[in-house]
Amino acid sequence: MLTAMRYASPTTVAEAVDLLGSDPDARVYAGATDLIPQIRAGRPEPTVMVDLKRIERLCAISSNGSTYTVGAATPTADICADAGLTAAFPGLVEASGLIGSDQIQSRSSWGGNLANASPAADTPPSLIVNEARAVIAGPGGERTVPAAEVATGPGATSLGPGEIIVEFELDQPPARTADAYLRLIPRTEMDIAVVGAAARVTLDADGNVAAAAVALGAVAPTVVRVPDAEAALIGNEPAGDALAAVQAAASAATNPIDDKRGTVAYRRQVAGVLARRAVSMAAERAREQGGQS
Amino acid sequence: MTVTEPKPSYKYIGTRPVRHDGVEKVTGRARFAADLNLPGQLHGIAVRSPHAHARIVSIDTSEAEAMPGVKSVITGDDFPAVAPGDRNYDMCVNVIARDKVFYEGHAVAAVAAITREQAQQAAAAVKVAYDVLPPVLTIDDALAPGAPVLHGHMLTAGADPPAEEPSNISNITRFAGGDLDAGFAAADLVIEREFTTQPVHQGYIETHACVADTGQDGHTSIWCSSQGHFNVRSSTATLLGWETTRIRVIPAEIGGGFGGKTTIYLEPLAVAMSAKAGRPVKMVMSRDEVFRATGPAPGTRLKVKLGVQSDGNLVAGDAYLIYTNGAYAGPGGLLGAMTVFESYDIENFNIEALDVVINTARSAAYRAPAAPLTAFAMETLLDEVATELGIDPMDLRLQNAVTEGDPSTMGFPFARIGFVECLEAIRDHPHYTAPLGPNQGRGLAAGYWFNIGESSSATVNLNEDGTATVVTGSPDIGGSRASMALMAAEVLGIDVYDIRPVVGDTEAVGFTDVTEGSRATFATGMAVVEASRKMVVELRGRAAKMMGVDVDDIDWVDGQAVYTGSDGEKDPLPLAAITGKAKRTGGPLTTTGSLEAHGAGPGFAVHLCDVEVDQETGVVRVVRYTASQDAGTAIHPSYVEGQIQGGVAQGVGWALNEEYIYDSDGVMENPSFLDYRVPVASYLPMIDAIIVEVPNPAHPYGVRGVGETGIVPPIPAVANAIHNATGCRLRDLPMSPIRVLDAITSNGGSKGA
Amino acid sequence: MSRVHVTCTINGDPIEFLCDGGQTLLDALRDEVGLTGAKEGCGTGDCGACSIVMDGRLLCSCLALAPEADGTTISTVEGLASGDDLHPLQQCFLEGAALQCGVCTPGFLVAAKALLDRNPDPTETEIRYGLAGNLCRCTGYDKIVRAVQTAAQTINES
């Protein structure tokens, strides 16, 4: 119950790691947008709530010209307001902006979105197509892993005891590269994705695809990459048959479930549609970029 | 605005003053039920069944009672026994279960403790042993041969021959007129279709809440949010077996109801615990409890058959309607039968409607109960008829619309109604002929609700300075205080802001029925007008006394007593001059109006909806919406528009997304605003509300109820628009992206026939 | 378990209160501080009736823990008017009949103020998405959106 719970707000990563290491029932949180409703429903019952938002490093956005570093607890509202990130990763920033309402945007973060390990989370597919790396701190020090390796199943992560995500690293994309994210929800806002699709496309000087990444959310226990879609795009103009192949490959790559939010057949069909549209949108953005440079 | 009949020119009625309770509501100071706290107050929590259908074997409260801070634990045994078949049985055992639980979330016990956390812990420690029974969750389950019977005493009312064995059918309603066979024989086109819909929730934002304070003298005061505090009083008295005089109910501001707060859930529990503990007890439901334990509107299966002649003349209608009412008998089918063919002149008809019980929360009224679903069936069928016969859907409706003198389903002739005027208002609106974009479609649908009158009371008190207080017994859910003040101002001739409209508690004003059936402005308004008119009579008498003239020579004009006799000129006496001298002319100026209102004018509405459909994902967006509705006379047009717009939004949610989802054990899977998807602001366009005014002859100012009709046409309007955009007929709710995509796919993948 | 002592500024006033470690900020505002303008409509961040602004950020106070408020500056609907002078949003909600039952109104006003602070001249679409975290079941949003549009105009012209 909430009464017995202690609140802690460490200001350094080391302090947070110590707190977590000393109590197996301690829970970290940033936005708590999922955690507080879960606790009120009676599960889990943490002894200590460790608030990460007062650790400066976890709430900072910086760039050294070649790599962006984004604190894991940085509110997505701040991410959406960052011009550099928006220019470099428009799809990822859009995905960030889709998490809940303006109220939720003040609290939601990439770290929370990823570590919560919901298969339907909006930002993980975009983090993955952009090859984001997660910097993880724990009792054994810090390690850096691909963001794709953090969530291992619904509600399950590869984070060890006492480990937290500190920040994300994203390399500045090469020229003529852009990403896009689309999701399907029934009522335009305030829903959990029934299907999410992220794509990133790099075009060569002729407008053909030089590199591509496609990832789907909400259609399997974890985010699904679609290598067949990527292969179908490479070397081709992102149109016509190549896009049809993307759609077919994306549908085929899904492993969805029937639940209150969608059916297997529907998710499979729409995953293909959204993947095709996301690739098309990413390619369009990459083309515009080429035109400007 | 379309004014279709000449009407008197009013000074206050039809204006748009800022509502009297407005400032308190925009500054956060208005007190809703959960905002009240009393000294020494305990927090109460209900213990609810995790099973949809089970026999209660035993309840052990000993551990809970021994926990720190716990002051009171109650079960069904703390209330007087009520026999199955008693007219109050359903209401009583719904508030707290006795031998059986009938739905997941059914209250079986309640606990009050010093803190909410203590109460939560104690509630979890109440040990209930259940003998779990197979749940009855669907219409098919309920009607299956050998189905588990919820209520051993339930013999179908209206069965012919009379029912001898209990079943899950509580009631059968039959209406018929003309010669059905002859009607269909005369038809050139006969279409029969079946429709299914799921239970939906009213979705008021304020959860149920109350504070009860029972004194040593055995009297209790209840502060609560409800659509009718006199009903809270009588229901609580019934449950507890108390005299009515022991209970005073003080209405808090109410945060939405839409029919869902016309019944009670918490108050008797809070009173019983307060009596046991000798301290005030506050209970506030969580959203989860609201979804699981309160008010869904029925789910349905509807089969409707129409016979039409080639010129569009409707000649026969046959309807077979089944409504689920949750765990207890309810009126869904009856109301469906009363509405399905009501809007059109169909000489030969037969209607059979079944009310069935299933193991879900007891249904409560929801805005024009049952009518949106019969309209879904009837108005999409009409659209199909229009397509088949190549007749414009507007013309088809104009041709068959009921008008004054036509008989209703029940046989009574309609008084003056505004259906045709509503159709014409839409036909003449620019929206009707505006071009559509790609993947867009347009749908037209009409709707009807009969509205009701019932009992209302009002008191008018004039104050020494010439201002007035108008006390009524109708809670203000959506601006009714302002309407009451406007009507009183019109009669008294004083400024609307010189009138203070007050919602009185059960000891401060005469008996007033629940706010339901769109009756507040109509019926309570009539009581206000009656009390105000009596006051004018009184004022004329006082003025005559002050002037020393005959009362017959005094007119009341614009808030002044005016001498009209032949005995020379006299200065008019303004109201304030009379109130200032009240002590010398007969004492306090107080009048009352109490009445049983008859002649609630039926309300008609016609809606036009444009949707855009994503043909590859089935996602539907409403992109333009225009709604006309006959308000009789709009007392405060802004709040009439608001009722229309709110009804549209709820109807669009019902059409596209809202539904209860249960697992196979009858446990609700979507008891939150995340997964029970009511429309958000970004989901809707502006809603153009056209007020049609065809005055209701039974009301002194021509008022018809406006609260409910607006939710009736949206479901078929959206369905018809989806058909127009995709070529697909959707006959199952909600018309979710999954269903729409399914329909498009099985129709050949694009706009087909 | 001893209670947590929180010091903060609410609507310009220095406020101290005691709370439980796991108490939500909404419960603390309502039960410990006595500000009941923020309402609990869902407890899960889906309805926005509990909207407040903390250190410049709009949030659902049902999704924050009360101890987080220590050292922060909070504004609630109770702080929107200056004395007897209503904020233009409040005035426009009144004049535009943008409330029916009124229980969602405090949350809408706080969210709308945050929206206009960030974007003084929003389009209809921006208003609709900006307020999508606030549920209203009465109005169909039409008059709310119009009231925010009118308030934006009023503020920008003053």
> Is B15 within the bounds of a domain?
no
Residue C8 has pLDDT above 80, yes or no: yes
Å from B397 to nearest chain C CA? 27
Domains and CATH numbers, chain A: 1-172 (3.30.465.10), 177-292 (3.30.390.50)
* Domain that residue B458 falls in: 454-597
pLDDT (mean) for B4-17? 88
| Chain-chain contact of B738 with A192 (C-beta, under 8 angstroms) | no
Q: How many helices (H) and strands (E) does chain B have?
A: 20, 29
> Is B16 within the bounds of a domain?
no
Give pLDDT, residue B296: 95
Burial bucket for residue C118 (CB in 10 Å: 0-12, 13-18, 19+): middle
Rounded Cα–Cα distance for residues B740 and B620 (Å): 8
A101 contacts in chain C (CB < 8 Å): 45, 48, 132-134
- Based on the domain organization, do B647 and B727 belong to the same domain? yes
B257 contacts in chain C (CB < 8 Å): 101
Is the Cβ–Cβ distance between B262 and B227 less than 8 Å?
yes
Which of residues C25, C54, C79 is at a domain's end? Answer: C79
> Is B145 within the bounds of a domain?
no
> Is B674 within the bounds of a domain?
yes
Å from A231 to nearest chain C CA? 37
pLDDT (mean) for B346-357? 98
> Which of A41, A184, A189 is facing B619, going by the closest CB pair?
A184
Give pLDDT, residue A293: 45
Phi and psi (nearest 5°) for B306? -120, 140
Å from C71 to nearest chain B CA? 24
Q: Which residue of A has its CA nearest to C67?
A: A7
Contact of C51 with chain A, judged by CB distance below 8 Å, is answered with yes
Which of residues C79, C99, C128 is at a domain's end? Answer: C79
> Is B558 within the bounds of a domain?
yes
> Which of C22, C59, C131 is facing A3, going by the closest CB pair?
C22
Which of residues B571, B597, B623 is at a domain's end? Answer: B597
Residue B696 has pLDDT above 50, yes or no: yes
Share of chain B above pLDDT 70, in %: 99
pTM over 0.95: yes
Quick one: DSSP state of residue C30?
I
- Based on the domain organization, do C67 and C122 belong to the same domain? no
Rounded Cα–Cα distance for residues C135 and C108 (Å): 8
Per-residue confidence at A1, pLDDT binned at 50, 70, 90? very low
| Chain-chain contact of B674 with A191 (C-beta, under 8 angstroms) | yes
- Based on the domain organization, do C54 and C92 belong to the same domain? no
Burial A7-35 (b: 16+ CB within 10 A, else e): bbbbeebeebbebbeebeebbbbbbbbbb
- Based on the domain organization, do C72 and C111 belong to the same domain? no
Angle among Cα B414, B529, B455 to the nearest 5 degrees reads 65
Is the Cβ–Cβ distance between C22 and C16 less than 8 Å?
no
C touches which chains (3+ CB pairs under 8 A)? A, B
Report H helices in chain A.
Answer: 13-22, 35-40, 76-80, 83-88, 90-97, 102-105, 110-115, 123-129, 227-233, 240-253, 264-292
- Based on the domain organization, do C58 and C104 belong to the same domain? no
> Is B154 within the bounds of a domain?
no
A3 contacts in chain B (CB < 8 Å): 115, 117
Q: What is the domain-level CATH number for residue C108?
A: 1.10.150.120
Per-residue confidence at B1, pLDDT binned at 50, 70, 90? low
- Based on the domain organization, do C61 and C109 belong to the same domain? no
Is the Cβ–Cβ distance between A222 and A257 less than 8 Å?
no
| Chain-chain contact of A9 with C68 (C-beta, under 8 angstroms) | yes
Query: Which residues are CB-neighbours of C120 under 8 A, at least 6 positions away?
Result: C152, C155, C156
Neighbour count for residue B77 (Cβ, 10 Å): 11
- Based on the domain organization, do B629 and B721 belong to the same domain? yes
* Domain that residue C25 falls in: 4-79
What total of structural domains would you count in chain C? 2
- Based on the domain organization, do B473 and B533 belong to the same domain? yes
Inter-chain Cβ pairs, chain B and chain C, closer than 8 A? 185
Residue B219 has pLDDT above 60, yes or no: yes
Q: What is the domain-level CATH number for residue B731?
A: 3.30.365.10
Chain-centroid distance of CA A98 in Å reads 11
What total of structural domains would you count in chain B? 2
- Based on the domain organization, do C8 and C75 belong to the same domain? yes
- Based on the domain organization, do B560 and B665 belong to the same domain? no
Render pLDDT for B501-513 as a digit per residue (tens, 0 to 9): 999 999 999 999 9
Residue B748 has pLDDT above 80, yes or no: no
| Chain-chain contact of A102 with C20 (C-beta, under 8 angstroms) | no
SS3 B556: strand
Q: What is the domain-level CATH number for residue C72?
A: 3.10.20.30
> Which of A5, A37, A101 is facing C43, going by the closest CB pair?
A37
CA distances from B127 to B48, B79, B269, B623 (A): 11, 19, 18, 52
Q: What DSSP assignment string belongs to B73-108?
A: EEEGGGS----TTSTTHHHHHHHS-SSEE-STT-EE
Render pLDDT for B143-188 as a digit per residue (tens, 0 to 9): 999 999 999 999 999 999 999 999 999 999 999 999 999 999 999 9
| Chain-chain contact of B672 with C44 (C-beta, under 8 angstroms) | yes
| Chain-chain contact of C132 with A5 (C-beta, under 8 angstroms) | no
Q: Is the CA virtual torsion B715, B720, B726, B730 positive or negative?
A: positive
pLDDT (mean) for B261-289? 98
- Based on the domain organization, do B712 and B581 belong to the same domain? no
Rounded Cα–Cα distance for residues A259 and A118 (Å): 14
Is the Cβ–Cβ distance between B222 and B211 less than 8 Å?
yes
Average pLDDT of chain B to the nearest whole number:
96
Q: B281 has which bridge partners? A: B42, B212
| Chain-chain contact of A7 with C62 (C-beta, under 8 angstroms) | no
Chain-centroid distance of CA C133 in Å reads 11
Q: Which residue of B has its CA nearest to A270?
A: B617
| Chain-chain contact of C48 with A32 (C-beta, under 8 angstroms) | no
Per-residue confidence at B753, pLDDT binned at 50, 70, 90? very low
A31 contacts in chain C (CB < 8 Å): 63
Give pLDDT, residue B752: 41
Task: Write a three-state SS string for B132-150.
Answer: ECCCCCCHHHHHCCCCCCC
- Based on the domain organization, do B637 and B545 belong to the same domain? no
Which of residues B543, B564, B597 is at a domain's end? Answer: B597
Per-residue confidence at A140, pLDDT binned at 50, 70, 90? very high
Which of residues C79, C101, C125 is at a domain's end? Answer: C79
Rounded Cα–Cα distance for residues B428 and A223 (Å): 53
Closest alpha carbon to B357 in B163, B138, B158: B138
Which of residues B558, B573, B597 is at a domain's end? Answer: B597
| Chain-chain contact of B645 with C140 (C-beta, under 8 angstroms) | yes
- Based on the domain organization, do C94 and C39 belong to the same domain? no
- Based on the domain organization, do B592 and B606 belong to the same domain? no
Q: Which amino acid is at A5?
A: M
Residue B597 has pLDDT above 90, yes or no: yes
Is the Cβ–Cβ distance between B371 and B339 less than 8 Å?
yes
| Long-range pairs for B230-237: beta carbons < 8 A, 24 or more residues apart | B230/B473, B230/B506, B230/B511, B230/B512, B230/B513, B230/B514, B231/B262, B231/B263, B231/B264, B231/B513, B231/B514, B232/B264, B232/B267, B233/B506, B235/B91, B235/B263, B235/B264, B235/B267, B235/B268, B236/B264, B236/B267, B236/B268, B236/B271
Quick one: DSSP state of residue B524?
I
- Based on the domain organization, do C97 and C73 belong to the same domain? no
Give pLDDT, residue B4: 59
Residue A184 has pLDDT above 60, yes or no: yes
Chain A interface, best mutation among C42, C55, C58, C135, by max A CB count within 10 A = C58
Closest alpha carbon to A220 in A125, A113, A128: A125
Is the Cβ–Cβ distance between A183 and A278 less than 8 Å?
no
- Based on the domain organization, do C96 and C61 belong to the same domain? no
- Based on the domain organization, do C47 and C99 belong to the same domain? no
- Based on the domain organization, do B643 and B698 belong to the same domain? yes
Give pLDDT, residue B749: 59
Chain A interface, best mutation among C31, C40, C57, C125, by max A CB count within 10 A = C57
Rounded Cα–Cα distance for residues B485 and B468 (Å): 9
Q: What DSSP assignment string belongs to B275-289?
A: HHHTS-EEEE--HHH
Residues of B with CB under 8 A from a CB of A: 115, 117, 120-121, 288, 616-619, 621, 656-657, 661, 669-670, 673-675, 677, 679-680, 682-683, 736-738, 741-742, 745
